[in-house]
Structure formats: structure tokens, C-alpha cells
Amino acid sequence: MHLTSGKSMSEAEVNIRYRTYPVLVLNRSLYVILPLMGVFLFWSSFVMTFAVVSSFIQYGPTSLFIMMEIIFFAALISLALLSSDDSVFLTREGISLPFFLLPRFGFRSERQWTDLMTVGFRAREKGGLLKLYFKDGKKVEFDSRYFKPKDLEQMIVAIDVWGGGSDSFPALLEARAHLAGHTLTDGKDKHSYTEMWEEELSVRFGATNFIPLEPGHKLQEGLLTLERQMAFGGLSAIYLVKDTDNKTLVLKEAVIPKEADEELRKQSIHMLEREAHYLSRLNHPGLARVYDYFVEDERHYLLMEYVKGTDLRRFVKENGPVSYKETIEWGRQIAEILSYLHEQEPPVVHRDISADNIILKEDETLSIIDFGAANSFLGTATCTLIGKQAYIPPEQLRGKPTVKSDLYSFGCTLFFLLTGKDPEPISVSSPAIVKPDVPKYLNDLVVSLTQLEQEKRPSAARDVANTLSSWRDK
């Protein structure tokens, strides 16, 4: 994928190569024929000119013959140049097609994503056919055999990001899942894929002048004193604070941009208040408690329990991959917590399940933290992306998370625990590929949890918890 240097994502483009065998043969043939044709044209022009000078033939017929030769030669050159164009450009606005792929006449054809009606995919034994159908009835068909592996995946990703996504075009998921076993990239372009989403999201949500608070800052008329920043980004931040009893707490901060539409601001504030109410009602030993919600200087805050312990990312970094028995037990605890969240009314979607947000407490049990930033408290209300990119399912990247989005992130977390490595973004994760000795039943669970299509994931966290419970004696 090529992102034009120095340009915003609105100007960025993906440039991929696509040329079928017939066009390639035509192009190579023309480049063999053209020199011979040029020699013939030069020779025949010389002979004809000599014949005219010698009065063997009349000037008129000779001139017409030479002119026809020149026109034919120019046509061959044009055809050779046109058949050399094998670039398909995809941008935020649409797709630009080379001459031999045109659904209508022109040297190149520009089609807007708004004109894309549907996407089709037909699987074959080797690869498949990806078809784009436009509102004017025209169709463009791409054969996976004529792509380089990384270009094929970038084509699918670009249509997913810019063209409407797999929510609108389910065939994209079908194509990606089918082609994954044949031609898709081996992960060498993981950075480019991540970069594409991150830049796209920065365009969608815009830059912000949000500045986090400094240590020593006091809130609630001196009742809370900010000790240090734990994390910040986008329109939110996380702080460690102390109250007047010297008790350590966590403070989550969200800012609604002043330049936001007034109606959007009202909706966001209403959502923040509503979500704070829901979160404060949660009471589970595996969740950081939410104590309070308040607004100060137009900034919205959640005051939360501070959970002491080691996050699972640090644990794995220091100790290596987790044993299978421990993975099963920790997975069961995480699934039980997710069951509690998802069975609330309305269901609560965490949206940021990862090893970073799960604490191994001093009593050897797990607790999910960072809960204020999870849920739609900071995500939907402030239009910021919640979750770590490698752990986010396709539907959440497009702003449509469900309870099954947490299951995908949970599967990615199990992958990390088993392998010590982060999974590839937007892909079905199989820990046995990294560690062949991973038991099949554990590998199959991670594969099922990280399916790109929600319908193929387990039906509920409760079912996963029960399955893991039944494995504790293995």
C-alpha cells in the first residue's frame, strides 16, 4: 500500500498493480512488434520516396500509403502504452481503473464510492473473483490470480475502509476469509495496514487541542489531588489521584470539543450522564468500581477504584507466555466478567479487552480495569476510537461494537497469553501457528472467538466461560 508522503488521508491513495495474462501477452507482443514495425515504416517510406522521385509511381497514392502506415504505427504505440497501465488507484473518494478494466470508455475511469451498489465474491479452488457493481449497472471484476498477495489484501482493506465496509458489503469478509488460506499477506505489511486505519480515523475524528491536567492539579474544591498521568490520547486521559483520606483512586477524563455541533454536545452530555449511571451500578469482584461522575471546567470525569497488581502484558513480558492450565483459568475468569457485563440491561460492551487492561491482583484473581474508557462513555460520546488496534474487530473499527466485539478482543487476549505476541490486526488468530504445541482445543477456541464475522463467533460469553470451566482439569 502506498500512502502519499506528506499528504493527509483525504489525499492518500492505495496504488496496486493488476494485469491479466491476456493484457500482459498483448503488451509484450506489441513491444516486440513495434521495433519491427518501425523498421518497416522507415524502409517503406524510403522505398516509396525513391519511387516517387524516380517517377515509378504517383505522389498521391504513395503519400496516402505512408500516412496510413504512420496512423497504424501510432495506434500500436498508443495500445502498447495503454496496456502498460496496470495501476488501480483507491482513495477516500473512489477508485480509478486502467484502460483495460474500464466499465465505460475512457483512458482511465474514476468511480466514486457513493456509486458502489454492492460487492460480490465467487470463491474458486485457487483464489476467487472480487466483483464491484455500480449503480449505473456497470461491473468491474478482479481475479485474485493477477494480484501480488499484499496488493490483494490492500484492495480488500481499502474497499473496507473507504468503500462502505463489510457491514454494507458482507462479501468482503467472505473474500478475506477465503483468500486468507491462499494468497493473503504473511504479516509483512502489518504496519501499513495499521497506518491506514489510524490515519483514516484521524481524518474522521479530527485533531484536538486537548491538553491533559498536570500533577498537583486539584479538583472538586480540593477533595481530589492529581498525582500523575497514567495515559492520555484523543479526547480522554487517565490519572492517578488521591482523596483527602490519602486513598489512591483512578480518574477518567473526557472532553467534548467546544467546536462540536450544539445538538451533538447535548447528546454527548446526556450519554455521558447515562453511561456513568449504568457504570456506577456495576458490582463485581472482577471489575474496578465506579464511585462518582462529575463535570468541572467543561471536562467530564469518572472516579474509579484503583486496583493494585500487575497487568497481564507486564506479567507476560517478564515471565513469558502463560501455561495452558493458567490460560484456561484466567480465560474462565475473564469470560465470567464479560458474562456479567453482557447480561446487564442494557448490555454493557467493554470495547477495550486486552492484556493491558486486566490486572493480576495480589490474591491471584483477575480484575478488568480502564472501565471508564471502555463502554461508550468515552467512545461514542466523544467520537474517539476505543481499543488497541490489533485487538479490535472489524465492526468496532466502523463504530458498531456489540457484545461479540468483546469476544473477539478476548480471543486476541488469549492469543497473547499463549504466545507472548500481539495478534495481527483484523485477522483470525491461531496461536498454534506461532506455538505448534498449543492444544487443539485451545487453538480452536481462539480461532472461533476471532472470526471476522460476528455470526461465526460463540453465541455468548457465558458459553465460553462454561467451556473453559470444563477444561480446568485437563
pLDDT tens track for 147-186 = 777 777 777 777 777 776 655 667 776 676 666 554 444 4
pLDDT of residue 393: 87
Nearest to 287 by CA among 333, 354, 337: 337
CA–CA separation, 132 vs 167, rounded Å?
A: 15
Q: Average pLDDT of the chain?
A: 76
Which of 344-371 are b and which e, b meaning 16 or more Cβ less than 10 Å from the residue's Cβ? eeeebbbbbbbbbbbbbeeeeebbbbbb
What element of type H or E holds 250? Answer: strand 248-255
- C-alpha cell of 346? 442494557
| 78 pLDDT above the threshold of 70 | no
| 76 pLDDT above the threshold of 90 | no
pLDDT of residue 470: 94
Among the listed ranges 131-135, 225-229, 386-390, which one has the minimum average pLDDT value?
Answer: 386-390
pLDDT of residue 122: 82
Give helix 375-382 / helix 262-281 axis angle, nearest 10°: 170
Q: How far is CA 110 from CA 82, 94, 102, 277, 324, in A?
A: 16, 7, 9, 50, 53
Residue 429: is it exposed, middle or buried by C-beta count within 10 angstroms (0-12/13-18/19+)?
buried
Q: How many CB atoms lie within 10 A of CB 408?
A: 29
Please tell me the pTM assigned to this model: 0.62
Residue 3: φ, ψ to 5°: -105, 115
Residue 276: is it exposed, middle or buried by C-beta count within 10 angstroms (0-12/13-18/19+)?
buried
Among the listed ranges 330-339, 348-357, 452-461, which one has the minimum average pLDDT value?
Answer: 348-357
Per-residue model confidence as pLDDT tens digits over 379-425: 444 444 444 678 888 888 777 788 999 999 999 999 999 999 999 88
- Backbone Cα Rg of the chain: 30
Residue 262: is it exposed, middle or buried by C-beta count within 10 angstroms (0-12/13-18/19+)?
exposed
